[in-house]
């Protein structure tokens, strides 16, 4: 074997060891057009489900496939539609699908038909084996200590306990939304205490609106990482990062750490604008972490950003630094 051949072979082996063979896979982005706040759930048998916000904000839809790329052309089913009046009557936002103790749950945000910004968190459940089948039952509202604008609930289990993280206006007025964490007694009930783990404090979190929202949890390398989104949902939208040691008390705010700068944000050279509101899943090897997120491919928006339908769902592999932190590859294309 020539020296050049040996050098190239060693380089390939080192690359494969560092990022993993499956990380060289390319995704057929966008995975879904006009689907924002995307959440992908992978079952133990390798089935992928994609649930996301539709631009009409009037229904909850779901699609499934045997691969992440397969979600692109998968049939989509409407699972639930907004109420004609009263609660759950407007702004159906950011649904998440979870399978907990044999039951499927959908967490979502909704306003009232007569008061569209009176947004709260709601839950649906379904005991069918496949969430595309069966009937969805309305479990009701997630009750919080503070009765205020709240959305983007996500749940996770750690050390035998279940937790919920959500975005809420906890200070009133123009203070915007903070991320709040609480333990749960079951998938729809908070037990408290309700602890604010981050609120908008840096300039990049306060562009047009003061926003911390859209939390997503990934556990790896002895830590719990929480990504979240900040600022208005135009090209200023971006992702921040929190982390905590996996053995620390999650409800002690002094144990949480926060990146002083965004970790994933607009890259005009790659036509990636306002990336955010992500979720995490695993690739087909059940090891490689894949981030599912939304972004636009243009900067200028006519009218209000929430009226623009073209936030598209994308997928990208997450790399890991030598210190065990996620690398979202800001300068690399999808």
CATH classification at residue 43: 2.115.10.20
Question: Does residue 208 form part of some domain?
Answer: yes
pTM above 0.85, yes or no: yes
Output the CA–CA distances (angstroms, integers) from residue 196 to 151, 163, 209, in the order listed: 14, 13, 18
Question: Does residue 333 form part of some domain?
Answer: no
Cα 139 to the chain's mean position, in Å? 22
Tokens 């390939």: give the residue: 12
Question: Does residue 332 form part of some domain?
Answer: no
Look at residues 325, 318, 324, 286 and name the one whose alpha carbon lies nearest to residue 19: 318
CA–CA distance, 283 with 264 (Å, rounded to integer): 20
Question: Does residue 132 form part of some domain?
Answer: yes
Cα 129 to the chain's mean position, in Å? 24
Burial class (CB within 10 angstroms; exposed 0-12, middle 13-18, buried 19+) of 78: exposed
Question: Does residue 44 form part of some domain?
Answer: yes
Sheet strands side by side (includes 103-111): 90-100, 103-111, 120-126, 137-141
Question: Does residue 318 form part of some domain?
Answer: yes
CA–CA distance, 330 with 229 (Å, rounded to integer): 15
In which domain, by residue range, is 297 found? 3-327
Question: Does residue 263 form part of some domain?
Answer: yes
Tokens 């995975």: give the residue: 31
Contact present, 308 and 324 (Cβ < 8 Å): no
Domain count for the chain, please give it: 1
Give me 249's structure tokens: 């008390």
**Could you read off the pLDDT tens digit of each residue along the chain, which spans 334 residues?**
444 444 333 343 334 444 444 445 689 999 999 999 999 999 999 999 999 999 999 999 999 999 999 999 999 999 999 999 999 999 999 999 999 999 999 999 999 999 999 999 999 999 999 999 999 999 999 999 999 999 999 999 999 999 999 999 999 888 899 999 999 999 999 999 999 999 999 999 999 999 999 999 999 999 999 999 999 999 999 999 999 999 999 999 999 999 999 999 999 999 999 999 999 999 999 999 999 999 999 999 999 999 999 999 999 999 999 999 999 999 999 8
Residues catalogued as catalytic: 37, 213
Return the DSSP state at 305: G
Output the CA–CA distances (angstroms, integers) from residue 156 to 175, 186, 195, in the order listed: 27, 12, 16
Q: SS3 of 264, please?
A: strand
């Amino acid at each position: 074997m020539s020296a050049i051949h040996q050098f190239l072979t060693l380089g390939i082996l080192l690359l494969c060891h560092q990022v993993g063979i499956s990380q060289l896979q390319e995704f057929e982005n966008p995975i879904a057009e006009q689907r924002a706040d995307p959440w992908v759930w992978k079952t133990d048998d390798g089935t992928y489900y994609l649930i996301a916000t539709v631009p009409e904000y009037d229904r909850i839809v779901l699609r499934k496939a045997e691969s992440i790329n397969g979600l692109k052309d998968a049939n989509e089913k409407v699972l639930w539609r907004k109420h004609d009046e009263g609660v759950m009557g407007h702004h159906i936002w950011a649904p998440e699908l979870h399978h907990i103790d044999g039951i499927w749950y959908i967490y979502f945000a909704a306003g009232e038909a007569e008061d569209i910004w009176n947004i709260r968190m709601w839950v649906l459940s379904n005991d069918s084996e496949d969430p595309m089948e069966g009937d969805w039952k309305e479990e009701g509202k997630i009750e919080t200590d503070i009765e205020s604008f709240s959305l983007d609930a996500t749940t996770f289990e750690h050390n035998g306990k279940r937790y919920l993280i959500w975005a809420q206006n906890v200070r009133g007025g123009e203070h915007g939304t903070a991320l709040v964490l609480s333990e749960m007694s079951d998938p729809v009930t908070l037990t408290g205490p309700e602890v604010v783990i981050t609120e908008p404090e840096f300039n990049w979190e306060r562009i047009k609106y003061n926003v911390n929202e859209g939390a997503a949890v990934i556990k790896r390398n002895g830590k719990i990482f929480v990504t979240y989104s900040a600022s208005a949902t135009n090209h200023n939208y971006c992702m921040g990062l929190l982390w905590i040691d996996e053995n620390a008390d999650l409800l002690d705010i002094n144990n949480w750490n926060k990146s002083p700068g965004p970790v994933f944000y607009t890259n005009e050279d790659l036509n990636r604008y306002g990336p955010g509101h992500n979720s995490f899943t695993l690739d087909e090897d059940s090891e490689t972490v894949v981030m599912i997120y939304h972004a636009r491919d243009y900067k200028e928006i006519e009218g209000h950003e929430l009226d623009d339908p073209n936030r598209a769902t994308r997928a990208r592999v997450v790399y890991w630094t030598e210190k065990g932190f996620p690398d979202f590859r800001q300068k690399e294309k999808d």
